Chain A
């Protein structure tokens, strides 16, 4: 039932969680999406993380809706963009296992789900990476995908 109190409620907290290491080739994809989104402000929190699972979990707990961007390693062509609605289904772990200590994004999402802390709207954009060399720039295919994902995220967020 709608009451007068609803109008004073805080608006839903929407986060865009951009994960990656800016100094490891295509792992920078998520961080580059954060920069692209900041260039045209939207009413969302754009957060950058290196991907440590308990920190990701803390970010998810504090959000009503979360859009997550990360690089993937699944064998798909470099720069390929995939969108996963993880509100209902787990992320395929194999493509997001690139964490140094075996506890990455897929695990953070499932831990959040098990704890009842997963935002009701939770979408992951994966950009397939090609090179993860320390100090290397992003590959051209991934750099091109960054702008496309930023555009799709704006559309997602506006749609609500």
Chain B
């Protein structure tokens, strides 16, 4: 029997720190483990006994890349517990804030972390030496996302203007106009990004994922919608715990989430696109079609195109919201603490983010549960490796290691979020 093991001790170009171990026997991959060894962070325990009004700012500290997602899932879950619905311009402003985060986070991943894989560079710095104009475009595009968050959130990272019930301060209509000018340029850069990424060479693979994402009511999902899947799941966020479970695996400090009925599933850009492509705006739909995406994209390597389409959509949607914006009478709706349990799922850039909070009558948090997208995607990422890597076992170790790392980067995992970077061990035998 020929045994082969490949190990990557520190995964590069992923958010956080992890490692990878692949074991092959007689030319077939037997196991692939994504090891997450960051220490657990106990955020759910920190939240207990804090006020309902504090959770979103505490939870947002889980991630410097997607703090808005943590804020949004938290405020929606609290509003669910308190029986309040935030609608109208305040709802639109939340979508606008989320557009900023998608633009910023996706663009960082596309240009700085993922594109070097396709163009044969060690990283973004090496790529910038040959493609300075492209990297500049990426940085300018990312900056447009930062501008949205800075304007609505008060600052670019860990915004401070979000509250349960709305915002501390709603922007004046005239304040949004300079942003619109920047976003019009950003939309052109985003379209160029879709065209650029669609010209990359992709491995010809497909996976039979069960896609899970929110489905909005005729809108591409950010904050709200039912949780649906490509195999017929259609539930409210309040039913999440009935259908999904998290389990501990020995090789990781992050929990692994599964559908109780069927096992691994995939959330994130590929899932959102497969379940919501019809709700993209015309310019994004057209760009997706011209990029050759089709109604469903099941090749995870092509996720970079889907991410680019989502950036284009986010720019376009942000412009729509700014154009239609009417200043709200008040920046937030009134709330009264009460006992209850609230549930919410929103769409973080890398996938669905579920929060559940149980509140005491005085508004203090009795119990909190946070299921980040990387915990949900980890079993599917390991399956990708197990399925794809067998065909790559004849590659030299460096080539094999690179392909395995790229397979992980396809899903833009945020390991810092999931723990609650990468070593690669490949055991080929012999």
Contacts and interface: CB of A to CB of B under 8 A. Distances in A.
Are both chains from one complex?
Answer: yes
Interface of A: 50, 52, 54-55, 57-58, 100-103, 107, 110-111, 114-116
Given A111-B124, A114-B132, A54 B143 contact: yes
B100 to A, nearest CB: 14
A102 to B, nearest CB: 7
B238 interface: no
A100 B132 contact: no
Given A57-B139, A101-B15, A102-B13, A114 B125 contact: yes
22 contacts: A52-B156, A54-B139, A54-B142, A54-B143, A55-B156, A57-B139, A100-B416, A101-B16, A101-B64, A101-B416, A102-B12, A102-B15, A102-B421, A103-B112, A107-B124, A107-B125, A114-B125, A114-B129, A115-B128, A115-B135, A115-B136, A116-B132
A90 B10 CA distance: 22
Shortest Cβ-Cβ A-B pairs, 10 listed: A114-B128, A114-B129, A110-B125, A115-B132, A111-B125, A114-B125, A101-B15, A115-B128, A111-B128, A100-B64
Nearest to B12: A102
A105 to B, nearest CB: 13
Q: How large is the interface on B (under 10, 10 to 19, 20 to 34, 35 or more residues)?
A: 20 to 34
Interface in B109-134: 112, 124-126, 128-129, 132
A55 B135 CA distance: 15
A95 to B, nearest CB: 17
B319 interface: no
A111 B143 contact: no
A52 B132 contact: no
B157 A50 contact: yes
Contact of B65 (A101, A111, A116): A101
A59 B132 CA distance: 18
A155 to B, nearest CB: 32
A58 B143 contact: yes
A19 to B, nearest CB: 14
B157 A111 contact: no
Nearest to B157: A52
Nearest to B14: A102
Contacts of B125: 107, 110-111, 114
Nearest to A109: B125
B122 to A, nearest CB: 11
Contacts of B416: 100-101
Interface string B44-85: 000000000000000000001100000000000000000000
Given A101-B16, A103-B112, A115-B132, 20 more contacts: A52-B64, A52-B156, A54-B143, A54-B146, A57-B139, A100-B64, A100-B416, A101-B64, A101-B65, A101-B416, A107-B125, A110-B125, A111-B128, A114-B125, A114-B126, A114-B128, A114-B132, A114-B135, A115-B128, A116-B132
Contacts of B15: 101-102
Nearest to A58: B143
Contacts of B12: 102
A54, A58, A116 — which one has the most chain B CB atoms within 10 A of its CB? A54
A13 B135 CA distance: 25
Contacts of A115: 128, 132, 135-136
Nearest to B136: A115
A107 B127 CA distance: 13
Interface in B1-33: 12-16
A31 to B, nearest CB: 16
A58 B112 CA distance: 16
Interface in B83-120: 108, 112
Contacts of B129: 114
A50 B112 CA distance: 20
Contacts of B132: 114-116
Contacts of A54: 108, 139, 142-143, 146
B244 to A, nearest CB: 28
Nearest to A50: B157
B125, B126, B129, B143 — which one has the most chain A CB atoms within 10 A of its CB? B125
Nearest to B13: A102
A106 to B, nearest CB: 10
A111 B142 contact: no
A136 to B, nearest CB: 17
A52, A55, A102 — which one has the most chain B CB atoms within 10 A of its CB? A102
